[in-house]
């Protein structure tokens, strides 16, 4: 019944289940599906609810009053029952009843159809609603999607921004990190600096304490040095004795040197002789070898010939044999061939004769071969002898070369020892030495009192070094480094100074000057006698030695450049003796040009505008010396006086480079012929001569002032008081090797002057002016001439 089924859920559409809006209706999930699906939708067969007979056609469902089917709801069973319902017929022929039943049945069918239609309408409505809901949901979804996309874009841009920020932050972070590291480094450095400063401060404090201690110890030292000074003075005396001993040692070494040199010469001669012999024996050996080769060739030829002859002989013997057998055969076989046999016999005899002659020839050849072999043996033995001799000579040459090398080594050692001794002597002595030279009595000198006023002590300490002079009956004794008696030759003098000259090549500043009264032999000592080469003075002799030594040092890699200048100081004015336009620039003997003297930081002296000439040989220098003498003689003619009215200064600047060691040396050799010293009262000069004498005396007294100040070790040394002393400042007060010749005249009338000169020389001898210093350094381009 419809009323019974009110709460039953309507028959569901196959695709509408719980989502149906009328969710209060339940589906018949347990109902069997009947029929087939049409248009994707399945049509359901319904069971008959009311049953045909039970269905009350009047009963309309109250609840369905609003609907056309009267609120009746059908179930599947109802529908099926309705459809399967069979009409109830009591009477088959009662049509009416039948018609009513059918009407009733149709009614119910209509109701059912209506119900279906309503249900379908509601379903459609619901579907529409759902579609609308779906549409709106879709719309919402798309809106949400758009929103989401926008959001996503926004978020993406935010992410990009954030990433950018992140990168910049990372960069910042890195920068900050590196800044931090830098800061840490600088902090560490500062820390280190602070520690260093603290350390320095501590060491400075230590140094301060040490300096304070040193100060106190220095004070103690000063007092002890004062004591030591006294002791050293004593020691100095003993050193002078030692000096004497060294002198004797030096002479022994020099003797040894001479001996070694002689030995070397002998060895060199022997060597050259042996070399000659060796050449000869080599030539004879070559000759013997040639002979041997010729003999060997000859023997080979003879052997070949012998071989040939032997072959011929064998061949002939075979023929003879054949023929002999033939003959025998013929003899035996027939006599008719007897004639023929005779011929053959003759032939055989002939052949036998030929054979014997060939045998003879063979013997001769064998004899010849034996002789040739004997000769070969002889030449072989002579070649062996020559070779042994050659080996022996080679050995001898080798030995001689070794001996030569030894001798040369000894020579070098001797030379080194000599230099060492020389420098030791100089150091012991101080770097200024004094040699005294007394010239011989000359015919113009008047009465010869030689040996009365001047004498030479013969005691061991003073031998060769002492001089005694008598004035007014009183004897005055002096000791110098060397005293040359009147008979001393120029060579004797040069031997003593040659080492000093050598020092200039070794890079020392060397200064040799001659001091003494007029006519005492200064110019003779320095220049020699003009036109007498055997009496050449120190200047030409030194130059010869220097150029010779320059030559001998070349194999050791030394190359030297030399420059020369010459000047004179006349009336306190410098005159350039090598200037080409000198005569035009002089007036009253005084140069119009003003030359200024300058000393540089290295102790080298330069004279402005002075002519400097590069020289390569002693000859060139002697030419320049002649030129200078000419220049001086001009002054002499104009002044009507001697050239000794001026101080003559010769300077040789030496610049040496050793190409193998790159070592370089700068030596200077100053050779000075001073003007004659004499007292005005004695000279009786007047006018220009008086002026000259005054100038000379002024410069010489300045020289003695300087020497005395040096001797007293005064703070101020008056070098600038004269041109001469200022020019010689580096030689007198510096680090050069200086030698003074005091020249003495033997004339009795000159005793007073001689005594003055000797006293001055003695003061100079007692003077210590420093330690000689060698000027060596590495290669440079500076080569301007200076005076040392």
Residues that bind ligand ATP in the complex, under the rule CB under 6 A:
439-440, 442, 516, 518-524, 529, 642, 644, 676, 743
Find the helix or strand (DSSP H, E) in which 137 lies: helix 95-333
Nearer to ligand ATP among residue 403 and residue 682 (C-beta): 682
Q: Least separation, in Å, of the C-beta of 439 and ligand ATP?
A: 3
Nearer to ligand ATP among residue 145 and residue 492 (C-beta): 492
Nearer to ligand ATP among residue 73 and residue 753 (C-beta): 753
Q: Say whether 520 counts as a known binding-site residue.
A: yes
Q: Least separation, in Å, of the C-beta of 413 and ligand ATP?
A: 36
Nearer to ligand ATP among residue 426 and residue 675 (C-beta): 675
Q: Least separation, in Å, of the C-beta of 469 and ligand ATP?
A: 17
Nearer to ligand ATP among residue 379 and residue 644 (C-beta): 644
Find the helix or strand (DSSP H, E) in which 454 lies: strand 454-455
Half-sphere exposure of 162 (CA within 13 A, CB side): 6
Q: Determine the straight-line distance between the first and last CA of the chain, rounded to whole angstroms.
A: 158
Nearer to ligand ATP among residue 648 and residue 726 (C-beta): 648
The encoded tokens of residue 92 equal: 């088959």
Q: Say whether 522 counts as a known binding-site residue.
A: yes
Nearest Cα to Cα of residue 531 among 520, 540, 521: 540
Nearer to ligand ATP among residue 64 and residue 745 (C-beta): 745
Helix (H, G, I), strand (E, B) or coil at 436: strand
Q: Least separation, in Å, of the C-beta of 643 and ligand ATP?
A: 6
Residue 521: partners with Cβ closer than 8 Å, 6 or more residues away? 437, 439, 743, 745
Nearer to ligand ATP among residue 503 and residue 520 (C-beta): 520
Distance CA 594, CA 608 (A): 9
Nearest Cα to Cα of residue 246 among 23, 465, 534: 465
Q: What is the DSSP letter of 741?
A: E
Q: Say whether 518 counts as a known binding-site residue.
A: yes
Burial readout 723-739 (b: 16 or more C-beta within 10 A, e: otherwise): bbbbbbbbbbbbbbbbb
Nearer to ligand ATP among residue 434 and residue 709 (C-beta): 434
Residue 82: partners with Cβ closer than 8 Å, 6 or more residues away? 46, 48, 49, 50, 52, 55, 74, 108, 109, 112
Distance of CA 196 to the CA centre of its chain: 35
Nearer to ligand ATP among residue 524 and residue 726 (C-beta): 524
Q: Please name every residue paired with 574 in a beta bridge, in sequence order, or none if there are none.
A: 569
Q: Least separation, in Å, of the C-beta of 640 and ligand ATP?
A: 14
Q: Least separation, in Å, of the C-beta of 545 and ligand ATP?
A: 20
Q: Say whether 554 counts as a known binding-site residue.
A: no
Rounded to 5 degrees, what are φ and ψ at 114? Answer: -60, -45
Q: Least separation, in Å, of the C-beta of 676 and ligand ATP?
A: 3
Distance CA 369, CA 365 (A): 6
Q: Least separation, in Å, of the C-beta of 581 and ligand ATP?
A: 26
Nearer to ligand ATP among residue 484 and residue 719 (C-beta): 484
Q: Say whether 414 counts as a known binding-site residue.
A: no
Q: Least separation, in Å, of the C-beta of 501 and ligand ATP?
A: 19
Nearest Cα to Cα of residue 527 among 545, 548, 505, 542: 542
Helix (H, G, I), strand (E, B) or coil at 744: strand
Half-sphere exposure of 653 (CA within 13 A, CB side): 19
Distance of CA 713 to the CA centre of its chain: 46
Q: How many CB atoms lie within 10 A of CB 764?
A: 24
By the 8 A CB rule, do 653 and 785 touch?
yes
Distance CA 534, CA 509 (A): 28
Nearest Cα to Cα of residue 539 among 550, 530, 551, 527: 527
Helix (H, G, I), strand (E, B) or coil at 87: coil
Q: Say whether 17 counts as a known binding-site residue.
A: no
Distance CA 96, CA 14 (A): 41
Q: Least separation, in Å, of the C-beta of 694 and ligand ATP?
A: 16
Bridge-based pairing state of the strands 647-658 and 482-484:
unpaired
Q: Least separation, in Å, of the C-beta of 456 and ligand ATP?
A: 15
Residues at the annotated binding site for ATP?
516-523
Residues at the annotated binding site?
516-523
């Amino acid at each position: 019944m419809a009323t019974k089924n009110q709460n039953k859920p309507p028959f569901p559409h196959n695709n509408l289940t719980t989502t149906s809006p009328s969710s209060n209706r339940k589906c018949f999930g347990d109902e069997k599906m009947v029929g087939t699906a049409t248009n994707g939708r399945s049509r359901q067969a319904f069971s008959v609810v009311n049953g045909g007979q039970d269905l009350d056609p009047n009963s309309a469902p109250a609840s369905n009053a609003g609907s056309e089917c009267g609120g009746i709801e059908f179930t599947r069973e109802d529908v099926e029952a309705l459809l399967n319902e069979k009409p109830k017929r009591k009477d088959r022929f009662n049509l009416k009843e039948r018609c009513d039943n059918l009407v009733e049945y149709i009614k119910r069918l209509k109701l059912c159809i209506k119900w279906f239609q309503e249900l379908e309408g509601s379903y459609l409505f619901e579907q529409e609603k759902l579609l609308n809901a779906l549409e709106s949901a879709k719309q919402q979804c798309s809106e949400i999607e758009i929103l989401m996309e926008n959001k996503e874009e926004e978020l993406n841009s935010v992410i990009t921004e954030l990433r950018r920020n992140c990168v910049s932050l990372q960069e910042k972070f890195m920068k900050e990190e590196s800044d931090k590291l830098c800061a840490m480094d600088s902090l560490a450095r500062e820390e280190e600096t602070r520690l260093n400063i603290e350390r320095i401060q501590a060491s400075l404090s230590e140094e301060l304490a040490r300096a304070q201690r040193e100060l106190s110890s220095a004070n103690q030292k000063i007092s002890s040095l004062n004591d030591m000074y006294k002791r050293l003075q004593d020691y100095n005396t003993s050193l002078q004795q030692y000096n004497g001993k060294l002198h004797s040692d030096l002479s022994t070494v020099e003797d040894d040197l001479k001996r070694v040199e002689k030995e070397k010469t002998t060895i060199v001669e022997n060597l050259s002789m042996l070399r000659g012999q060796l050449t000869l024996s080599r030539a004879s050996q070559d000759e013997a070898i040639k002979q041997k080769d010729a003999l060997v060739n000859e023997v080979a030829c003879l052997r070949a010939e012998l071989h040939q002859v032997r072959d011929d002989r064998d061949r002939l013997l075979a023929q003879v044999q054949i023929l002999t057998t033939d003959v025998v055969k013929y003899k035996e076989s027939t006599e008719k061939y007897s004639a023929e046999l005779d011929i053959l016999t003759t032939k055989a005899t002939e052949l036998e004769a030929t054979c014997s002659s060939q045998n003879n020839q063979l013997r001769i050849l064998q004899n010849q071969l034996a002789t040739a072999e004997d000769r070969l043996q002889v030449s072989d033995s002579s070649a062996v002898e020559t070779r042994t001799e050659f080996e022996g000579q080679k050995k001898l040459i080798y030995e001689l070369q070794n001996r030569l090398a030894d001798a040369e080594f000894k020579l070098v050692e001797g030379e080194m020892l000599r230099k060492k001794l020389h420098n030791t002597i100089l150091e012991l002595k101080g770097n200024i030495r004094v040699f005294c030279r007394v010239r011989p009595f000359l015919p113009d000198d008047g009465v010869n009192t030689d040996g009365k006023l001047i004498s030479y002590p013969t005691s061991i300490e003073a031998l060769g070094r002492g001089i005694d002079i008598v004035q007014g009956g009183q004897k005055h004794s002096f000791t110098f480094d060397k005293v040359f008696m009147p008979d001393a030759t120029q060579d004797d003098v040069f031997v003593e100074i040659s080492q000093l000259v050598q020092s200039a090549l070794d890079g020392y500043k060397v200064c040799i000057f001659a001091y003494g009264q007029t006519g005492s032999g200064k110019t003779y000592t320095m220049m020699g006698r003009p036109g007498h080469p055997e009496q050449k003075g120190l200047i030409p002799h030194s130059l010869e030695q220097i150029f010779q030594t320059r030559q001998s040092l070349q194999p050791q890699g030394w190359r030297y450049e030399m420059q020369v200048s010459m000047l004179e100081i006349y009336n306190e004015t410098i005159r350039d003796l090598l200037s080409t336009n000198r005569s035009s620039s002089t007036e009253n003997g005084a140069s119009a040009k003003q030359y200024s003297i300058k000393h540089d930081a290295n102790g080298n002296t330069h004279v402005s505008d002075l002519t400097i000439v590069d020289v390569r040989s002693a000859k060139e220098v002697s030419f320049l010396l002649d030129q200078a003498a000419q220049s001086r003689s001009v002054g002499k003619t104009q002044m009507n006086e001697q050239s000794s009215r001026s101080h003559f200064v010769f300077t040789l600047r030496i610049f040496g480079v050793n190409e193998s060691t790159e070592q370089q040396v700068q030596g200077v050799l100053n050779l000075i012929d001073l003007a004659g010293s004499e007292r005005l009262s004695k000279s009786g000069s007047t006018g220009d001569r008086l002026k000259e004498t005054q100038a000379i005396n002024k410069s010489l007294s300045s020289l003695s002032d300087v020497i005395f100040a040096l001797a007293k070790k005064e703070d101020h040394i008056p070098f600038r008081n004269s041109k001469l002393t200022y020019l010689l400042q580096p030689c007198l007060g510096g680090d050069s090797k200086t030698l003074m010749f005091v020249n003495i005249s033997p004339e009795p009338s000159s005793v007073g002057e001689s005594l003055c000169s000797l006293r001055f020389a003695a003061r100079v001898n007692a003077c210590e002016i420093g330690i000689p210093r060698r000027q060596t350094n590495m290669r440079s381009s500076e080569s301007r001439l200076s005076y040392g």
